[in-house]
Amino acid sequence: MNSVFNTTFEISLRTLIMLEIADEQPETADMIAAADFITVYGKDFGVSKINLHGNNSYKFSEFAQFRELVNMAVKLLVKKGLINVSRTNNGFSYSINQRGLSYCARLKSDYADTYRCLAIQTRKYIADRSEAGVFKLINQHAISSLKRRAVND
């Protein structure tokens, strides 16, 4: 069965929106993936009142797939000329360009609007954290989730 969630196409659209709200600040693919994951599962991080993709006990096992799909998405977006890639001391970083902003302006739907709002909340939540700090935060929540599940089983 094919899922409508977390396809390369959907991740590409979410990546564009994430870069749109980044105010032209370049982001690594890993940071995009981490911010996207926290945005989609914002309730679990105390960022929002909902999990955009619903509640499930195994959400943290999806994070590795998020990272892989974001890497594929940024390659696709660079190839399509919607984002720019730059080489930094920390590897490659990505930023949205004018063509990408124009494309984002056409992304009008309840899902896109909700994602934008939640992504803005996520960016505020992680603003003072390093990439390593954001990954540590995700790992801490994953461990807590596993502990809660073990107690409830």
CA pair distance 14, 104, nearest whole angstrom? 10
According to DSSP, the β-strands at 83-88 and 91-96 are antiparallel
Is 113 within a domain? yes
- Per-residue pLDDT reduced to its tens digit, 86-99: 998 878 999 999 99
Query: Comparing 123 with 61, which gets the higher pLDDT?
Result: 123
Query: Comparing 5 with 52, which gets the higher pLDDT?
Result: 52
- Sorting pLDDT into bands at 50, 70 and 90, what band is 1? very low
Is 1 within a domain? no
- Per-residue pLDDT reduced to its tens digit, 106-148: 999 999 999 999 999 999 999 999 999 999 999 998 888 777 6
- Which residue is listed with tokens 């945005």? 39
Is 2 within a domain? no
- Per-residue pLDDT reduced to its tens digit, 11-36: 999 999 999 999 878 999 999 999 99
Do the Cβ atoms of 38 and 125 come closer than 8 Å? yes
Is 127 within a domain? yes
CA pair distance 56, 43, nearest whole angstrom? 12
Domain containing 111 equals: 8-152
Q: What would the DSSP string read from start to end of 7-25?
A: -HHHHHHHHHHHHHTTTT-
Domains in the chain, number = 1
pTM for this structure?
0.90
Query: What is the 3 state secondary structure string of 30-82?
Result: HHHHHHHHHHHCHHHHCCCCCCCCCCCCCHHHHHHHHHHHHHHHHHHHHHCCC
Is 3 within a domain? no
- Which residue is listed with tokens 């935060």? 137
